[in-house]
């Protein structure tokens, strides 16, 4: 009798312990209240269309996944060892079942393929926007019978180590680790990098697009709701990557004008020399503003020739397209030395020898056995 009482008490204690564990875990779910489902509740039309494409694709796939999982449980229960299920060893074909098994997945694949094709073209980041929101085309006014398209706000983006520089060529300003844009204003990002590959990603605005040195990528987007949103790099780029974040602010036209005027009044000058200092690696940089931006600064960054002693990559490619510099251009190539490590705070690279010309032994000071001259 005592053993039965002890066993009963142990069972009750075990039950209470399980209940206590469940209750103790419940408060942790309250932490989910701080989560922001930004990908599923975006504030920009491009991101909204991407969200809809994601949800539609998921729903179509669930049309197969849910029935398969349900049927797996049903068959396991229906044909369990203790069940008296009918066993038909000669069954091998069912036309209705074959039609369902093959036609439904094929139809889903066709639909997803069509959605993918349309989404790839309509949501191409290089494609100019044809609407601000659903049912709201990009039309600012009407002159007679012709519609006037609203011109996009051009923002030039430079991924630095480990910070983001945003240039506003039309406004003549720049900002570090902050980008501001008017609500319902088309935005055209022109993106490059100073050193290594990065990826610009503002989840509330649009999908990510890579930033690569010596190359320009584009992203067209629009923000439809005012607010402050997070932006960051989605591609690992070194020690300071985790803090390579910035804020994106959607404001009205008046607030945007005030922000531009504030940057003009309070910003510091950003010329080529100041940029070469800013380019050096640094972490957790505060928001800063700049003015007096040279109109060709972004082009120089893109062509990796902010330092005027360097030949621009576009000039190099133009020379190569015309057959190269030949012997007459050797002195130009010899004068070039890669100094990226110096600008980024490192040590200068030692001079590297290279062959300037192939000579006969008698052409080099009469020294026998010399077939080439190496020059630093």
Query: Residue 330: pLDDT above 80?
Result: no
Q: Confirm whether 230 is domain-assigned.
A: yes
Shared domain for 164 and 114, answered yes or no, is no
**Residue given tokens 């680790």 in the structure block:** 177
Phi, psi of 164 (to 5 degrees): -120, 130
Q: Confirm whether 274 is domain-assigned.
A: yes
Q: Give the separation between CA 303 and CA 297, rounded to whole angstroms.
A: 10
Q: Give the separation between CA 69 and CA 60, rounded to whole angstroms.
A: 15
Nearest to 196 by CA among 240, 149, 134, 144: 240
| Domain boundary residue, one of 251, 279, 302 | 302
Least confident of 16-20, 280-284, 302-306, 334-338: 334-338
CA–CA distances in Å: residue 281 to residues 98, 164, 178, 290: 62, 11, 18, 19
Give mean pLDDT, residues 43-63: 90
Question: In the beta sheet, which residues pair with residue 165?
Answer: 158, 176
Q: CA angle at residue 37 from 34 to 41, to 5 degrees?
A: 135
Shared domain for 290 and 324, answered yes or no, is no
Query: Residue 47: pLDDT above 60?
Result: yes
Q: Confirm whether 47 is domain-assigned.
A: yes
- CB atoms closer than 10 angstroms to residue 302: 24
Q: Confirm whether 11 is domain-assigned.
A: no
43 and 205 Cβ atoms separated by less than 8 Å: yes
Shared domain for 112 and 183, answered yes or no, is no
Shared domain for 286 and 319, answered yes or no, is no
User: So what's the pLDDT on residue 360?
Assistant: 62
> Which helix (H) or strand (E) segment is 45 a member of?
helix 45-78
* Residue span of the structural domain in which 354 resides: 313-375
Q: Confirm whether 23 is domain-assigned.
A: no
Least confident of 147-156, 172-181, 284-293: 147-156
Q: Which two tokens stand for residue 346?
A: 């490192």
- CB atoms closer than 10 angstroms to residue 261: 12
Shared domain for 192 and 274, answered yes or no, is yes
Give the 3-state secondary structure of residue 347.
Answer: coil
Q: Confirm whether 115 is domain-assigned.
A: yes
Shared domain for 168 and 40, answered yes or no, is no
76 and 283 Cβ atoms separated by less than 8 Å: no
Q: Give the separation between CA 249 and CA 260, rounded to whole angstroms.
A: 13
192 and 212 Cβ atoms separated by less than 8 Å: yes
- Domain tally, the chain: 3
Q: Residue 241's domain is classified under what CATH number?
A: 2.60.40.420
User: DSSP letter at 144?
Assistant: T
Shared domain for 296 and 171, answered yes or no, is yes
User: So what's the pLDDT on residue 335?
Assistant: 52
Pairing state between β 268-269 and 131-133: unpaired
**Residue given tokens 């599923």 in the structure block:** 40
User: So what's the pLDDT on residue 56?
Assistant: 92
Q: Give the separation between CA 332 and CA 326, rounded to whole angstroms.
A: 10
Q: Give the separation between CA 22 and CA 18, rounded to whole angstroms.
A: 6
Phi, psi of 157 (to 5 degrees): -115, 130
User: So what's the pLDDT on residue 227?
Assistant: 92
Question: Percent of the chain scored above 90 by pLDDT?
Answer: 44
Shared domain for 232 and 318, answered yes or no, is no
Shared domain for 167 and 292, answered yes or no, is yes
Q: Confirm whether 69 is domain-assigned.
A: yes
**pLDDT tens, 331-357?**
666 555 555 555 555 555 555 554 555
Shared domain for 320 and 270, answered yes or no, is no
Shared domain for 293 and 324, answered yes or no, is no
Least confident of 116-130, 199-213, 260-274, 307-321: 307-321
Shared domain for 162 and 245, answered yes or no, is yes
| Domain boundary residue, one of 261, 280, 302 | 302
**pLDDT tens, 188-204?**
999 999 988 999 999 99
199 and 210 Cβ atoms separated by less than 8 Å: yes
Which residues, 6+ apart, have CB-to-CB distance to 306 below 8 Å? 272, 275, 276, 279, 297, 300
Q: Give the separation between CA 300 and CA 250, rounded to whole angstroms.
A: 29
Q: Confirm whether 132 is domain-assigned.
A: no
């Amino acid at each position: 009798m005592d053993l039965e009482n002890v066993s009963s008490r142990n069972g009750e204690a075990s039950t209470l312990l399980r209940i206590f564990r469940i209750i103790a875990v419940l408060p942790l779910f309250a932490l989910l209240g701080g989560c922001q489902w930004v990908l599923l509740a975006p504030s920009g039309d491009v991101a909204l269309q991407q969200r809809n494409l994601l949800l539609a694709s998921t729903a179509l796939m669930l049309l197969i996944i849910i029935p398969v999982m349900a049927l797996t449980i049903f068959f396991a229960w229906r044909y369990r060892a203790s069940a008296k299920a009918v066993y038909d060893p000669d069954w091998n074909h069912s036309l209705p079942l074959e039609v369902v098994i093959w036609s439904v997945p094929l139809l889903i694949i066709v639909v997803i393929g069509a959605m993918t094709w349309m989404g790839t073209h309509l949501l191409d980041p290089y494609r100019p926007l044809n609407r601000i929101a659903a049912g709201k085309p990009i039309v600012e006014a009407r002159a007679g019978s012709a519609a006037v398209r609203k011109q996009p706000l051009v923002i030039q983006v430079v991924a630095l180590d480990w910070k983001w520089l945003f240039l506003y060529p039309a406004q003549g300003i720049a900002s570090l680790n902050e980008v501001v844009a008017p609500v319902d204003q088309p935005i055209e990002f022109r993106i490059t990098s100073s050193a290594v590959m990065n990826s610009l990603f503002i989840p509330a605005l649009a999908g990510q697009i890579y930033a690569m040195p010596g190359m320009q990528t584009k992203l067209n987007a629009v923000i439809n709701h005012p607010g402050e949103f997070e932006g960051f790099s989605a591609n690992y780029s070194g020690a300071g990557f985790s803090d390579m974040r910035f804020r994106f602010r959607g404001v009205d036209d008046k607030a945007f004008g005030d922000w531009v005027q504030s940057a003009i009044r309070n910003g510091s000058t950003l010329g080529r020399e100041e940029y070469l200092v800013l380019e050096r690696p640094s972490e957790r940089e505060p928001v800063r503003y700049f003015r007096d931006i040279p109109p060709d600064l972004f082009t120089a960054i893109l062509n990796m020739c902010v330092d005027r002693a360097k030949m621009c990559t576009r000039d190099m490619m133009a020379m190569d397209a015309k057959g190269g510099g030949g012997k007459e251009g050797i002195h130009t190539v010899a004068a070039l030395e890669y100094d990226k490590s110096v600008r980024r705070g490192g040590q200068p690279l030692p001079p590297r020898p290279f062959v300037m010309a192939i000579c006969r032994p008698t052409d080099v000071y009469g020294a026998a056995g010399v077939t080439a001259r190496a020059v630093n």
